[in-house]
Amino acid sequence: MKIRNKTSGLFVSENAVMAESFFSRLFGLIPRKSLKEGECLVLTRCAMIHTCFMRFPIDAVFISGDLRVVGVLEKMSPWKFSRYYKGAFYTAEFAAGFAKNRFEEGDEVEFSD
């Protein structure tokens, strides 16, 4: 799946995976040792995340059901909990440092195959 920031016109990921099942959402990035630049995991029905049991920091972009960015959390280290992002339906998780200058609150996002 691809992710594009429609506001800036920038394709931010061509290697995104949508985690929709119970187990893919439960385990998320926990089994991974790292994320490469541009890789992304998108969690559905998700307005708050944790990094317990993870081995690396991440950036998280919280996106509403109408595909607007409602929050950006940068460099979230392992064993932390985010705050609840009201209105978020999707959370896109990237390698730490990736979201900077690519997303801002209010940006419109597009998912495509």
Residue 83 lies in domain: 2-112
The tally of domains found in the chain comes to 1
From the list 5, 7, 10, 18, the residue with the least C-alpha distance to 110 is: 5
Q: What is the pTM of this model?
A: 0.95
What average pLDDT does the chain have? 96
Q: Residue 73, Cβ neighbours under 10 Å: how many?
A: 18
Locate all alpha helices (DSSP H) within 1-113, ordered by sequence.
22-27
What is the pLDDT, as a whole number, of residue 71? Answer: 98
Residue range 85-103: average pLDDT? 97
Residue range 5-11: average pLDDT? 97
Tokens read off for 4: 């594009």
CA–CA dist 82, 6 (Å, integer): 25
Residue 17 parent element (H or E) = strand 15-19
Measure the CA dihedral 32/37/39/40, to 10°. Answer: 90
Residue range 24-42: average pLDDT? 92
Q: 1: pLDDT confidence band, cut at 50, 70 and 90?
A: very high
From the list 51, 73, 54, 52, the residue with the least C-alpha distance to 62 is: 73
What is the pLDDT, as a whole number, of residue 38? Answer: 86
Contact at 8 Å (CB) between 111 and 21? no
Tokens read off for 67: 């595909």
Check pLDDT > 90 for residue 26: no
Tokens read off for 3: 């992710």
**CATH no. for residue 65?**
2.60.120.1140
Check pLDDT > 90 for residue 37: no
